[in-house]
Amino acid sequence: MATTDVALQDAPGRLERKPIVNDMSIQVATVNGSGSQSSNTVLLRSIFQMGVPVSGKNLFPSNIAGLPTWYTIRANKDGYIARKKEIDFLIAMNAETAQEDVMSLAPGAAALYDEPLNLSTLRSDLVFYAVPYDKLVATVCPEAKLRKLVKNMIYVGVVAKLLDIDVAEVEKAIHRQFAKKAKAANLNMAAAQAGFDYAAANLKKQDPFHIARMDKTKGKIIIDGNAAAALGCMFAGVTVVTWYPITPSSSLVETLIDYMKEHRIGPDGKATFAIVQAEDELAAIGMVIGGGWAGARSMTATAGPGISLMAEFAGLAYYTEVPGVIWDIQRVGPSTGLPTRTSQGDILSTAFLSHGDTKNILLIPSSVSECFDMAQDAFNLAEQFQTLVFVMSDLDLGMNNWMSDPFQYPETPIKRGKVLSEEDLDRLGGFARYKDVDGDGIGYRTLPGTDHPAAAYFSRGSGHNEKSQYSERPDDFERNMERINRKFETARSFVPRPELISADKSKIGIIAYGTSHWAIVESRDQLSMEYKCETDYLRLRAYPLTREVHEFVEKHERVYLVEQNRDAQMLSLLKLDIRPELITRLRSVSHIHGLPLDARSVTDQIMTMEGK
C-alpha cells in the first residue's frame, strides 16, 4: 500500500511546484486533554467560512489525557469529504509521535513543528516550518497555567498565514467557539494573531498549498451525526429516552438533553419528555420496551457491546410486538475492540438480534441530514410495525464534524400506528391483539390505561394465540410466527429506498452503505479518471433489502459490496435474499482497521480484483 501512496504523489519539486489550491489534508498531531479540540474546530470553521468544502475527523484514544490524538481536516474544492490517506500538511505538536508522524509523510508534504523538536534534520524531501510556541505563548498569556491551552491556538494563526486563510475568518471562528467567554476569546485571538504575525515575519512560504475563497459553503451547517440524530429525535416527538453511557453514543443523548431542555419544556415549566440514565444497557432497552408498550415514543442510544447485552430484550420486543428505536453508533468490535474507532461491524448481529427466529428493521444513515431524517422514519416505522427499529450509525458519522445543507422540517405528520381508542373499542366491542385484520401482518393494540373494559390484553414473551392468551399449540405458534414474518415482508415497501446513484453505465456495480458512501463517491471518480473504469453505484439505506437491490445485482456482472467489517456482513444478508445463481456476482471489499474509509483503498482493492 505504501508504494501506491508515494507513486500518486507528485515528485518532490519543492519551490518550483505549481500551487495547489483548495485541495489538501491537514493533520494536527497532539496529545489528548491539551485543549487542541478548540483550535482544530476554529481552523476547520475558518476554512469553511472561506467557502471551501471541508471535513474534520478526530482520531482519538480511549483515554482522558496524555495519549496521542490526531485531527485531520480535509479541504476540497470538489466537495470530496471522505478521509484522505495522504497528509499534505502536518502540524506536529506531540513530541512522542513527532518523528514517526514526519517519517510517514509522503515527499513534498509540509511539516510545521515546535522548534525544540528539531525535526527538520529528519528528512530532506519535505518542507519544514519551525515555530517557537513557548516563547510566543509567554508574550500573549501572562498566566502560566493557561498557556498549555492557549498554545494550540498559535498554530491556527501560523497555518492561516501560510495557507492564506483570512485572519478575520479566524477571529470570527474564535468568537463563535468562545461565545460565552469573552476573556477566553480575546486570549485565544491574541495567540492566533501572534502565530500569524510570527509566520509573516519569519517563515518563508515553500509549500504549494493555498486556501482561496470560494462560495461552496454558503448557507451550510456544520454538525456531527450524533447531534443531528438528537435533533431528529426531538422533532420526531420522542418522549421517553433511556441510556447508558458508552462511546461513541453518549454525545447523542447528551446533546438531546440540551436540546430538549431548551425546546421541549411546556408553558407550565414541565418537561414533555423523560430522560433516564439507566443502570446498564439491559435496563435501558427494558425501559424503552416498557415505554413503547405503554404508548410513548421511546428510544435509547448505544454501541456494539450494548447491542449484545440487549439481545434478549430485543426478542421480547419482536415477539410481543412493542415499538422502540435503538441507535447503534457502531465502533470496532469484537469485545471492547477499538472503542474510539469506526466500524460497520454490527450489521449482521443486529439484523438477527436475539434467539429464535428474529429479524429486525435497520436504517442506515450515511450523512448528518439522514441522521435527522431517519429519526423521523425510525419512530414512524417502529410504531407502524410495532417492532424495534435500529438506526445503524457509526463513530465516523456520529462523532465527527460534517458539512451539510440545513435539515428540512418534517412535512408528514407523526404516524402512531394501529392503536385503538375507547371509541374504537365501543364500536368494535373488543379486539384480538395479534389478529391480522388488514392482511399486512400488523395487529391492533391498545395502550395500558385505556379506559374501556375491553381494552386490556396480556403481553407475554411466551407462546400466545391471536387473543394474546397463553398457548403452546403448535398451530398457534406457527401461525403467529408466519404473521410476524408477514410484517417484515410488508416493511420492505415502507423502509427508505436505496439511493440509485448510477444504474446503466457499466457492467460493474458498487453497493455500499453508511459512511462508506463518501469514499465511494470519490473512488468512482478515481476509477473513471485514472483507470477509465466506469461503475454504477447503489447506496443501501435499510434492511430488509428492497426490490431495487435485487434488480441492481441482476443488471451487473460484478457487484462490489464495500463495507467496514471483516466478514462481509451486508453481503451475507444480500446472499440470503437474491436468486442463488446471482450470488457469484457478489464480491466483498472489506475494510477493518477502524479508520474512516478512504477512496484510495477502495479504488486499489477494486482494481486489484478487476485484475488491473
Contacts of 325 (CB under 8 A, 6+ apart): 233, 238, 288, 297, 298, 299, 300, 375, 378, 379, 382, 388, 389, 390, 391
d(CA 276, CA 241): 6
- The interface with another protein within residues 102-161 (CB under 8 A) comprises none
Alpha helices in 14-85 (DSSP H): 36-49
185 near 174, Cβ under 8 Å?
A: yes
**CB 275, min distance to another protein, A:** 8
- The interface with another protein within residues 56-75 (CB under 8 A) comprises none
Identified binder of another protein from the candidate list 29, 240, 325, 595, rule CB under 8 A: 240
Type of residue at 257? I
d(CA 211, CA 203): 17
293 touches another protein (CB under 8 A): yes
d(CA 124, CA 163): 22
Region from 20-28, 60-68, 214-222, 338-346 binding another protein, contact rule CB under 8 A:
214-222
**CB 305, min distance to another protein, A:** 16
CA angle 571, 509, 522 (to 5 degrees): 100
Question: Could you give the C-alpha distances from 138 to 37, 95, 141, 191, 194, in angstroms and in order?
Answer: 21, 20, 5, 10, 11
Cβ atoms within 10 Å, residue 108? 21
**CB 227, min distance to another protein, A:** 8
Cβ atoms within 10 Å, residue 478? 10
Region from 22-30, 122-130, 451-459, 599-607 binding another protein, contact rule CB under 8 A:
451-459
- The interface with another protein within residues 457-486 (CB under 8 A) comprises 457-462, 470
Q: Where are the beta strands (DSSP E) in 53-136?
A: 54-59, 68-76, 89-92, 110-114, 127-131
Region from 82-90, 217-225, 386-394, 563-571 binding another protein, contact rule CB under 8 A:
217-225
**111 vs 399, beta carbon nearer another protein:** 399
**CB 231, min distance to another protein, A:** 6
d(CA 358, CA 461): 13
Identified binder of another protein from the candidate list 235, 318, 390, 543, rule CB under 8 A: 235
418 touches another protein (CB under 8 A): no
**473 vs 505, beta carbon nearer another protein:** 473
d(CA 344, CA 557): 26
168 touches another protein (CB under 8 A): no
Cis omega (within 30 of 0) for bond into 544: yes
**47 vs 238, beta carbon nearer another protein:** 238
* Residue of 353, 387, 373 whose CA lies nearest to 497: 373
**CB 342, min distance to another protein, A:** 22
Q: Taking CB under 8 A as the rule, which mask of x and - marks residues 173-212 in contact with another protein?
A: ----------------------------------------
**16 vs 215, beta carbon nearer another protein:** 215
**CB 406, min distance to another protein, A:** 4
Q: Taking CB under 8 A as the rule, which mask of x and - marks residues 253-292 in contact with another protein?
A: ------x---xx-x-xxxxxxx-x-xxx-xxxxxxxxxxx
**223 vs 353, beta carbon nearer another protein:** 223
Identified binder of another protein from the candidate list 159, 234, 540, 561, rule CB under 8 A: 234
Q: How far apart are the first and last CA of the chain?
A: 15
**CB 396, min distance to another protein, A:** 19
